[in-house]
Structure 1
Amino acid sequence: MDLTATLSESSRPISKASENKLLDTLFQHHRLKRSWVWNQFFVLEEYTGTDPLYVGKLHSDMDKGDGSIKYILSGDGAGTMFTIDDTTGDIHAIQRLDREERSQYTLRAQALDRRTGRPMEPESEFIIKIQDINDNEPKFLDGPYAASVPEMSPVGIIRTALTNMDREARECYEVIIQAKDMSGLLGGLAGTTTVNITLSDVNDNPPRFLQKHYQMSILESAPVSSTVGRVLAKDLDEGISAEMKYSLVDGDGLDVFDIATDTKYQAGIITVRKPLSFETKRSYTLKVEGANTHVEMRFLNLGPFRDTTTVHISVEDVDEPPVFEASFYFVEVPEDVDIGTTIQIVSARDPDVTNNSIRYSIDRSSDPGRFFYVDITTGALMTARPLDREDVAWHNITVLAMEMNNPIQIESVAITVKILDVNDNAPKFDKFYEAHVCENAKAGQLIETLSAVDQDDPPEGQHFYYSLAPEAANNPNFTLRDNQDNTAWILTRRSGYRQRTQNTFYLPILIADNGQPMLSSTGTFTIQVCLCDNNGDEVSCSPMAHTLPISLSRGALLAILGCVFVLLVLVLFMLSMRRYRKQPYIINEEENVHENIVRYDDEGGGEEDTEAFDIAAMWNPREAQMLRIRQDIQPEIESLSRYVPQTCMMHDNIHKYVLAKLYEADFDFYTPPFDSLQTYMFEGDGSVAQSLSSLQSISTDSNQSYDYLTDWGPHFKKLAEMYGASEGSGALS
């Protein structure tokens, strides 16, 4: 066995059995007598000398004192806490030992042959014990201590010296406690700790209001749940003992106000419960109570744990907007109601004491068509225009009420107007009807199914009655059958229709509704006679098919084309001649003045000149602009009368024009009557009145006639007498 390896392994801690086994191996199973000479080692802690502290001595009986034996120390603290003299075997402690940190150390020792390094003795284990000295005073491990003792408590382990300790007077106490070891004998050590004793609170104080009277105010416009003010009762206790609840116990405002408890600040918050009115009641008185919610039975003899205070609340006046009697109006009006009829009276009042006058108006954004009008003082809502259910069936109007002395105080109310239906629309065909009948049609054959529409909406529903108009009641060609389902059939009454005889029939049909009163209209049904095949399908509906030849010869076609060409040449020649006969315009730089000035460039023969009046320009002003001809840099206005047939000027066109103007003036509800200004652009050479322009006339003759209507000529004078045209009529002046 390798001795070095064995010694190396033996340096590790081993059990006693392993040690004996190792010795048997080393010494070839020859047991040797243990030769260690030593005592158990003890050493005191806390050595403070400058020299190493001697612990003990190791010695082998094989040591002859010649230094041939080498001692080796291993184990806990070897080399750091303890050292050994390898020649003498003396063990010393080289650091301060503290039993409270470690009470003993386990070490191993071995004797080696210094020359060969072989073990002279088996390795042995020994213990160094640290002996205790009184070097630590007693300590309180959890100090300082805190304790809580209810005020007014009886004796405990730490006894109270007083029986009437009051937390509200003093809350905390500090007690110092000392502990000594060695039963307090001389040389013993002592330790101290602090005990902080807090008196916990009990409810031994009732709440007290800081004020016995509170004065508060609130605007009458304050909304519900708004805060009026706060009241506060002071309680010397704390925590749960100071918790309280506020309530209203008496007063004339119990149904108008409410109170809640602010748990954070233990205050009472008074709020508005119902809407206020300065005009109804101007002040209120409340009795408020604050009471503890937790009371100990043993302290009931201290008195009631509640207190009360009085709160006076004043209601302040504000200028309020008008108030309508109703929050909403619904009105039903027949569509044939007369203009100016009162359909509803809205009423509002000033809720303030001043009772200002109210003025009414309509919000025009709610009535853009201006169908209604409201009386400014009475609030009567009236119709201002004819109502038409078929045009607008519902009107949503907003009526405004404003204080006369304070226009910013405005209130509004909604009025819904339902237009009731009146039978004011006659039924009519739902489309344009046109059909055909075959020449070979038989009697009783269905030609067309008719239907009608009516804009009215009667409650019992629509029902139409169809019949031939009175002038066609005995029509020998066609008949009508009312199907009693709002439709009608057109049937043939005979057979044998011929295009050559009559190619188109116009059948007047009377349509009536079931309204009150009954309304009717007449529609014309057009029927064409057509050539049909054997299946009844249309082949041709033109009567020319019977009169025109099927084809023309080449010579006939050339003759027709030659006639057309000659006609076109003549028309073009006439148009070119008309252009050359036109006179050039007179250029005037003053033409650029853009004012309402009538300019007469040429004055002709007055009454003798029948071309002075151009009715075409009255009908369509754009026509005059289209017929203007530019002959120089600046265009001039030229008389248009030469392009208008003279026969049209005297009767037919003027008659239609005047009637149209009268109709516009009589049925225009939006604008006042206005004069119609006519411009006469050419007057000829022999005018008796000379220039009609006040700007160019230099005559100062007071006898000059300004009766322009007379000077226009006999035909205009006759026209004025016929139609009674007068200035301001809106038709002609």
Structure 2
Amino acid sequence: MKLGKVEFCHFLQILALLLCLAGMNQAELSRSRSKPYFQSGRTRTKRSWVWNQFFVLEEYMGTDPLYVGKLHSDVDKGDGSIKYILSGEGASSIFIIDENTGDIHATKRLDREEQAYYTLRAQALDRLTNKPVEPESEFVIKIQDINDNEPKFLDGPYTAGVPEMSPVGTSVVQVTATDADDPTYGNSARVVYSILQGQPYFSVEPKTGVIKTALPNMDREAKDQYLLVIQAKDMVGQNGGLSGTTSVTVTLTDVNDNPPRFPRRSYQYNVPESLPVASVVARIKAADADVGPNAEMEYKIVDGDGLGVFKISVDKDTQEGIVTIQKELDFESKTSYSLRIEAANMHVDPRFLSLGPFSDMTTVKIIVEDVDEPPIFTSRLYSVVVSEAAKVGTVIGTVAAHDPDASNSPVRYSIDRNTDLERYFNIDANSGVITTAKSLDRETNAVHNITVLAMESQNPAQIGRGYVAITILDINDNAPEFAMEYETTVCENAQPGQVIQKISAIDKDDPPNGHQFYFSLTAEAANNHNFTLQDNKGDVIPYHSGAVNLY
């Protein structure tokens, strides 16, 4: 027959009560034969009161009051002249006493976990005078524990982590169960631990509750989490003990025990030759079963004819290798490249070097595709010099462009009129010869910058651009001019030889600082003897007439 928890507790209570009553009956028998009875089991020779502890079993579930013990005084001759009274903790409410016999009973169910003992005072009175026949005496009723509390994991459920590949016996976490029963009495609060779920991967130390690994080489990549059920059982794990359970979620944390591996031994990518420098041409990724820093890797080009043309870097977010262009591609020069690329872990764990190199190789082939490119001029900038005296139609220079594609389509030339708004120049569509279309004037525009367009005959959308800087050379086609209109005022008392005005001239022709001007008076002015003019090698000084002195 199996007993439930409640039925088993009741069984223990009844058994303890029977043992207690048996002990009381034996004490009563001894008292009747010899000296007066005391609950402590001792007798006195000089005094009537000697008190020790009474014991009462907790959690009594019977219908009648629970017998606790008996108070008795040597003065009591059994004739009813003595009455007993009880005071202190729980007197009258929990504990009652038969004033005639001194028998003490508990009227309520007691719980040791709520209160472990009660301190009371007893007194024997003369029933007629109501005066004490003995000094008041204090005694204790101690609640005797039964195993009525199961162990509890107050901190559960638990979570813990342990590195994968840990050796057997590696500590994971410690679990602790508490039992509210009396640890000083019996085995009610003595707990042992066992594992109900989680074998054979983990074990638990029975006395300490320390969980440890039980299998070697547990692999996170195969299984990264385990759910354990741990049991704590009191009564040192014996039959009839109460138990409680908790769960422990153990996560295997990653270690770098997996090298990177390319899923393919070779890759091929097609890219147009027109792709700009720094453009991405390929993304490759080595797979790594590890996670976090253990999966971080770096890529490098270790061999191949693409060294210097391409470079590879790592995308920190995706751990991909990013291949980009370092130099312009030209299908006409080279149609394909081969790259030998290595992927290697950045954080290698020395414990696993015996597993082999933590790197891998693959080959990336890049095919350059031909693109219909615009014509290319033989020079990016042409410089031309022409005199401003050149006649209309004068040839001033020639430009040349060609189609870089294999088709080598013929080229036709034109001038971008946005750079030659007044149409000073023309170009022969077939030969690229540039001629003047208008008279040139250096003083109006000393330099002309024009753009020449080269267009493929077979594909007019493909247009190349060349740039021509045309410098106009000066001729002496401008007369000197006075710098300003001069108007001079002379005082009537001016002295002969006094300077009254300086005059100067300018010339629009080159060179601006190298002209030599010659000054003289007109014939009409020369007949006026009041003024003279002195040519000062480019600086002109007129004088008031009178005694003429040269300046």
Q: TM-score, normalised by structure 1?
A: 0.49
Shift of residue 275 of structure 1?
A: 0.9
What is the letter of the counterpart of residue 254 of structure 1? L
Q: CA deviation at 1:330?
A: 4.7
Output one character per residue of 1:351-370: Cα deviation in whole Å (capped at 9) or x when no partner: 22222222222222322222
2:201 equivalent to 1:188: no
Larger relative contact order (C-alpha < 8 A, sep ≥ 6)? Answer: 2
Q: Verify: 1:401 aligned to 2:415, yes or no.
A: no
Q: CA contact under 8 A between 1:52 and 1:92: conserved in structure 2?
A: yes
Tell me the distance in 2 between the aligned counterparts of 1:46 and 1:380: 121
Structure 1 residues 86-126: Cα deviation after superposition (integer angstroms, max 9, x where no partner): x9999977686461x554678999xxxxxxxxxxxxxx999
- Give 2:508's aligned residue: 455
Cα gap change, 1:192 to 1:457, in 2 (>3 Å):
same
1:137-216 equivalences under 5 Å are: 137-140=150-153, 141-144=155-158, 146-148=160-162, 150-151=164-165, 153-156=167-170, 158=203, 163=216, 165-195=218-248, 199-216=252-269
Instruction: Calculate percent identity across the aligned residue pairs.
Output: 55
Partners of 1:320 and 1:476 lie apart in 2 by 80
User: Residue 344 of structure 2 contacts residue 360 of structure 2 at CA under 8 Å; is this kept in 1?
Assistant: yes
Among 379, 384, 401, the residue aligned to 1:348: 401
Which residue among 126, 130, 136 is the counterpart of 2:149?
136
Distance change in 2, residues 1:379/1:107 (3 Å):
farther
2:421 to 368, 386, 389: 368
1:222 Cα deviation after fit: 1.0
Among 280, 298, 320, the alignment partner of 2:373 is 320
Segments of 5+ residues of structure 2 without an aligned counterpart are 1-48, 72-79, 123-136, 172-202, 204-211
Q: Which stretch shows the higher mean deviation, 458-467 or 314-323?
A: 458-467
| In 2: Cα distance, 1:190 partner to 1:44 partner | 22
Task: Tell me the equivalent position of 1:230.
Answer: 283
- Secondary structure at 2:236's aligned position in 1? helix
- Is the 1:333–1:420 contact (alpha carbons within 8 Å) kept by the matching residues of 2? yes
- Compute the displacement of 1:220 (Å): 0.9
Structure 1 pair 107/332, CA: closer, same or farther in 2 (3 Å)? farther
Query: How many residue pairs are counted as aligned between the two chains?
Result: 443
Change in Cα spacing, 1:366 to 1:98, as seen in structure 2 (3 Å) is farther
Deviations 1:71-91 (A, max 9, x none): 9989xx999xx6799x99999
The 5-angstrom pairing of residues 57-68 of structure 1 reads none
Shift of 1:226: 1.6
Whether the 8 Å CA contact 2:52–2:140 is kept in 1: the answer is no
Structure 1 pair 98–217 and aligned structure 2 pair: CA distance change class (3 A): farther
Farther off after superposition, 221-230 or 448-457: 448-457
Contact residue 41 and residue 127 of structure 1 kept, 8 A = yes
Residue correspondence of structure 1 range 345-494 to structure 2 within 5 A: 345-433=398-486, 448-469=501-522, 478-492=531-545
Q: Give 1:136 deviation, angstroms.
A: 2.0
Q: Which residue of structure 1 aligns with residue 314 of structure 2?
A: 261
What does 1:692-703 align with in structure 2 at a 5 Å threshold?
A: none
Report the counterpart of residue 270 of structure 1 in structure 2. Answer: 323
Q: CA deviation at 1:307?
A: 2.8
Alignment correspondent of 2:46: none
Partner SS for 2:418: helix
Do the aligned residues in 1 keep the contact of 2:479 with 2:507 (CA within 8 Å)?
yes
Verify the 8 A CA contact 1:463 1:486 in the aligned structure 2.
Answer: no
What is the alpha-carbon distance in structure 1 between the residues aligned to residue 327 and residue 403 of structure 2? 20
Q: Which amino acid aligns with 1:153?
A: P
* Cα 1:237/1:444, change in 2 over 3 Å: closer
Contact 1:222 1:276 in 2 (8 A): yes
CA contact (8 A) 2:376 2:401 kept: yes
Quote the Cα distance in structure 2 between the aligned partners of 1:471 and 1:405: 75
Shift in alpha-carbon separation, 1:95–1:398, aligned structure 2, 3 A: farther
Shift in Å at residue 218 of structure 1? 0.5
Q: Which amino acid aligns with 2:236?
A: S
Query: SS in structure 1 opposite 2:314?
Result: strand
Task: Give the aligned partner of residue 183 of structure 2.
Answer: none
CA shift for structure 1 position 467: 0.7
> 1:282, CA displacement in angstroms?
1.3
Instruction: State the 1:280 CA deviation.
Output: 1.2
User: CA 1:256–1:104 in 2, change beyond 3 Å: closer, same or farther?
Assistant: farther
SS in 1 for 2:504: strand
- What is the CA-CA distance between 1:271 and the residue it aligns to? 1.9
User: How has the CA–CA distance of structure 1 residues 298 and 431 changed in structure 2, closer, same or farther, with 3 Å as cutoff?
Assistant: closer
3-state SS in 2 of match to 1:385: coil
**Residue in 1 that maps onto 2:333:** 280
Which has the larger strand fraction?
A: 2
Indicate the residue corresponding to 2:187 in structure 1: none
CA pair 448-162 structure 1, distance change in 2 beyond 3 A: closer
Supply the AA of the counterpart residue of 2:328. P
Is residue 349 of structure 2 the alignment partner of residue 311 of structure 1? Answer: no
**What is the CA deviation profile of residues 172-219 of structure 1, one whole-angstrom value per residue up to 9, with x for unaligned ones?**
555544443233344432344455555555544444322223221011
Change (3 A) 1:125 1:219: farther
Counterpart of 1:363, as a letter, is D
Please tell me the residue identity of whatever aligns with 2:167.
S
Answer whether contact 1:230 1:270 (CA < 8 A) is retained: yes
Deviations 1:699-719 (A, max 9, x none): xxxxxxxxxxxxxxxxxxxxx
Aligned-residue CA RMSD (Å): 5.0
The residue that corresponds to 1:521 in the other structure is: none
Amino acid at match of 1:349: H
Distance change (3 Å), C-alpha of 1:93 and 1:252: farther
- Distance (Å, rounded) in 2 between the aligned partners of 1:321 and 1:452: 54
Go from structure 1 to structure 2 and tell me whether the alpha carbon gap of 1:355 and 1:94 turns closer, same or farther (over 3 Å shift): farther
AA in 2 matched with 1:245: E
Point out where structure 1 has 5 or more consecutive residues left out of the alignment.
Answer: 1-35, 59-64, 110-123, 496-733
Assess if the C-alpha contact under 8 Å between 2:95 and 2:107 holds in 1.
no
Contact 2:88 2:119 in 1 (8 A): no
Rounded to whole Å, the distance in 1 between the matches of 2:392 and 2:91 is 128
Q: Is the contact between residue 147 and residue 198 of structure 1 (CA under 8 Å) also seen in structure 2?
A: yes
1:257 Cα offset (Å)? 1.7
Q: What CA distance in whole angstroms lies between the structure 2 residues aligned with 1:108 and 1:491?
A: 151
Distance of 2:456 and 2:247 partners within structure 1: 80
Distance 1:467-1:203 versus aligned 2 partners, 3 A rule: same
| Residue identity in the other structure for 1:347 | A
* Mapping of residues 487-566 of structure 1, within 5 Å: 487-492=540-545
Instruction: Give the match's secondary structure for 2:519.
Output: strand
Q: Secondary structure at the match of 1:183?
A: helix
Which of 274, 278, 295 does residue 221 from structure 1 map onto?
274
Q: Which has the higher Rg, Structure 1 or Structure 2?
A: 1
Instruction: Give the helix-richer structure, 1 or 2.
Output: 1
Instruction: Give, in whole Å, the separation in 2 of the partners of 1:396 and 1:78.
Output: 121
Alpha-carbon separation, structure 2, partners of 1:249 and 1:401: 43
Change over 3 Å in CA distance of 1:156–1:37 after alignment to 2: closer
Q: Deviations over 1:466-516 (max 9, x none)?
A: 112467656656432223353331543699xxxxxxxxxxxxxxxxxxxxx
Name the CA shift for 1:331/1:41 in 2 (closer, same or farther; >3 Å).
farther
Cα displacement (A) at 1:318: 1.6
